[in-house]
Structure 1
Amino acid sequence: MRSCDRLKAERLRLSLSQEELAKLGRVSRRAQASYESGERSPRGEYLESIALGGVDVGYVLTGQHSAEPSVSAQRVADGAPVAATYGPGPGLAEVKLYDVEGAAGAGRSLEGERVEGVIHFPEAELAALGVSAERVAGVKVRGDSMESTLADGDWVLVDLGSRDIRQEGVFLLTVSGERRIKRVQRLAGGALFLISDNEHYQPEMITPQQMGEVEILGRCEVRIGRIS
């Protein structure tokens, strides 16, 4: 079987149309059709994107199925490992991945934003974290301000149901409409400190008068790595 045939087989296995897989790969439907016909060969950026959607890229390229696409995931708070996989399965909750951190957005809702891929977590694992499967989203980290907690290009699982900053931690928030990922510390008098874990960045104080420009979107619970 040719690699183009294996690509089509993976698309059918995931019950995706050509248009849906093209969106995951950030290409046109015409390009997707040309990949499946063997007329053109896909580029690395395309393969990386569809891997996030659950496509077994190793099988597409070599004909050898991956034993199980693995994901490196750890709790943000203490680095404890968390089970996760790119492929769907029984007892697994699907979490959408959005590349939106640092972009202007319309508040806490991510609906309408482009989905870059999906990842799956055991529902029992999310429950143990105190996270509702219906109220989570994966967000891509941009920049190095949160090194070494979160690196540029990481994905982080955000609990959109946890917005209480009295429980200090790392949060996804908006400041004047711009999404950011920062460690948030509440100060006396109602002010906030937005802290970058990279020591080369200075903390930013949000005064009580500026609090109207801040919206807490959710607590960052799990750092998600890449397929290994």
Structure 2
Amino acid sequence: MADDDPRTTLAQLAQAGGHSLAALSAMLGRNPAYLQQFVHRGTPRRLSERDRRLLADMLGVDETRLGAVARGPALVAIPRLALAASAGPGAFVDNELTVGSDSITPALARYLGLSADTAASIRVRGDSMEPGLFDGDTIFVDLTSRNPGPRGAVHVVRIDDTLMVKRVARLGNRLVVTSDNPAAGPVPRGAVTVIGRVVWQMRAPR
């Protein structure tokens, strides 16, 4: 048996702690030969979750040393805003309420530079940003990125009282707001407030 095999580990830990396998079996409420068979005959092939937890507590080790699957890092929950960002006519904005969250891995959050305090997820409505964004897509918005450059990027903006997702570029002192879909109607005129830059999207299979 390899040194990192749970059976080898259990035998070594029991010996180091001065515990017999029979005594540990009794602690589990099993017959005295239970852990002897596990260590030397491989029966059962794996310890039950209950037995593994009790043994790990008794021996003062992490359950992974006795065969538990290592748990991955906790996901990062990005707050989901109740209102949809329109890629069409626009969604009227009264206030933005958080309704649940969308989770991403810590690695992706680091790659995107997002945290639960500096980002939001929003559901896209409409087709004016096709083919990049489709109706029903979930977008992740960096709320700290509010200064579009001259080359332009996709941002969530508020135009007067309408929340929209559009391509925004800065030309001199003004913001130019456009749709990616040539068939889309004109972008409404009005005061533009940049909410944040779209940095990621999720799309359900079609």
> Shared fold by TM > 0.5?
yes
Shorter-chain-normalised TM-score: which range? 0.5 to 0.7
Question: Residues 38-187 of structure 1 correspond to what in structure 2 (within 5 A)?
Answer: 90-100=73-83, 101=85, 102-105=90-93, 110=96, 113=97, 115=99, 117-166=100-149, 168-187=152-171
> Match for 2:192 among 199, 208, 214?
214
Check the 8 A contact 1:193/1:204 in 2, yes or no.
no
> Match for 1:193 among 165, 176, 180?
176
Q: Residues 202, 105 of structure 1: CA spacing in aligned structure 2 closer, same or farther, 3 A cutoff?
A: closer
Check the 8 A contact 2:138/2:203 in 1, yes or no.
yes
Alignment-mate amino acid for residue 169 of structure 2: Q
* Larger-Rg structure: 2
CA deviation vs aligned residue, 1:79-119 (integer Å, no higher than 9, x gap): xxxxxxxxxx7331012323412323257xx3xx251x432
Q: Residues 155, 194 of structure 1: CA spacing in aligned structure 2 closer, same or farther, 3 A cutoff?
A: same
Q: Residues 205, 186 of structure 1: CA spacing in aligned structure 2 closer, same or farther, 3 A cutoff?
A: farther
Alignment-mate amino acid for residue 221 of structure 1: V
In the TM superposition, what is the alpha-carbon distance from 1:150 to its structure 2 partner? 0.3
Question: What CA distance in whole angstroms lies between the structure 1 residues aligned with 2:73 and 2:205?
Answer: 20
In the TM superposition, what is the alpha-carbon distance from 1:147 to its structure 2 partner? 0.3
> TM-score normalized by structure 2?
0.55
Q: Determine what percentage of the aligned residue pairs are the same residue.
A: 33
Residue ranges of structure 2 left out of the alignment (5+ in a row): 1-71
Q: Higher relative CO (CA 8 A, sep ≥ 6), structure 1 or 2?
A: 1
Segments ≥4 residues shifted beyond 4 Å: 202-206
Structure 1 residue 226 and structure 2 residue 178: aligned?
no
Question: What CA distance in whole angstroms lies between the structure 2 residues aligned with 1:106 and 1:161?
Answer: 22
SS class of match (1:97): strand
CA deviation vs aligned residue, 1:150-170 (integer Å, no higher than 9, x gap): 001111011111111127210
Name the structure 2 match of 1:24. none
SS class of match (1:128): helix
